[in-house]
């Protein structure tokens, strides 16, 4: 029994050390890829998607329009600078919707999305959600909010195989992320829940309506002073 306890303790310590190290390193080093990008490459290969090219161009947060930064917070996580990784009220609202049979709303914060995209996989399971919570705590502990926002803006998928706001802005808007207007920023982030079906270049009336709502919400988002 003691041997098993020592083995389990060693396994737990090894897990913590092996996960804290990479997370701490990525606080200063831009990730060359993500778990979601690798999975998308594999999916394209298995489905023999001819012509598929994964596109991403990393850019520092200082070179990303503040309109885009405010837009993604307004659309995805308005309490980003107030919470510690989890929006408790949003989680409670989502659970209430599910119990009452209404369509479920998203409750994942930007930090949770970064944790999932960087290290995990898609799908719903208690194991994945548990790991997501663990990495979310690590990110909030070891990274600044500004770094979390910067990484999110660079790894989120904005189109089929198109990752990051710089590549998306150039491909869909014909300009770099630094030059995006408030209206364009609102339209760009609206595709985030369904980047392979919602099109920035051909927005539906529903997408345009949602982008107008995001544009209104952006006025409430205040970024920290540099």
Report DSSP letters for 53-99, one per residue. --EE----GGGS-HHHHHHHHHHH-TTTTTSSS--HHHHHHHHHHHH
Phi, psi of 26 (to 5 degrees): -70, -5
Which of 23-27, 43-47, 103-107, 108-112 is the least confident region?
Answer: 103-107
Residue carrying the six token digits 């705590």: 137
pLDDT, averaged across the chain:
91
Kindly report, residue by residue over 64-120, the tens digit of the pLDDT: 999 999 999 999 999 999 999 998 887 777 777 666 666 555 679 999 999 999 999
Ordered by where they begin, the domains of the chain are 2-218 (1.10.3810.10)
State the average pLDDT over residues 145-173: 96
pLDDT of 104 reads 53
Task: Give pTM, 2 decimals.
Answer: 0.91
Q: What is the CA radius of gyration of the chain?
A: 19
- Is a pLDDT exceeding 80 seen at residue 192? yes
Crossing angle (nearest 10°) for helices 110-119 and 66-76:
100
Which of 19-33, 94-108, 109-123, 171-185 is the least confident region?
Answer: 94-108
pLDDT of 99 reads 66
Which of 38-47, 86-95, 109-118, 162-171 is the least confident region?
Answer: 86-95
From residue 56, alpha-carbon distances to 106, 117, 169, 202 in Å are 25, 14, 11, 21
pLDDT of 105 reads 54
């Amino acid at each position: 029994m003691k041997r098993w306890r020592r083995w389990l303790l060693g396994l737990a310590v090894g897990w913590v050390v092996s996960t804290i190290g990479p997370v701490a390193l990525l606080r200063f080093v831009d990730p060359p890829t993500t778990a979601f990008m690798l999975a998308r490459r594999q999916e394209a290969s298995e489905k023999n998607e001819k012509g598929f090219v994964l596109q991403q161009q990393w850019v520092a947060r200082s070179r990303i329009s503040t309109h885009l930064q405010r837009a993604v917070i307004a659309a995805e996580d308005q309490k980003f600078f107030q919470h510690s990784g989890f929006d408790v009220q949003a989680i409670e609202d989502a659970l209430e919707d599910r119990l009452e049979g209404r369509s479920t709303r998203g409750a994942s914060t930007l930090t949770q999305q970064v944790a999932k995209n960087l290290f995990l996989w898609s799908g719903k399971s208690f194991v994945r959600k548990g790991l997501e919570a663990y990495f979310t705590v690590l990110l909030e502990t070891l990274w600044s909010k500004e770094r979390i926002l910067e990484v999110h803006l660079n790894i989120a998928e904005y189109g089929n195989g198109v990752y990051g706001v710089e590549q998306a802005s150039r491909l869909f808007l014909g300009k770099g992320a630094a030059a995006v207007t408030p209206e364009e920023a609102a339209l760009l982030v609206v595709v985030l829940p369904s980047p392979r079906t919602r099109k920035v270049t051909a927005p539906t009336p529903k997408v345009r309506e949602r982008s107008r709502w995001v544009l209104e919400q952006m006025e409430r988002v205040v970024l920290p002073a540099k």
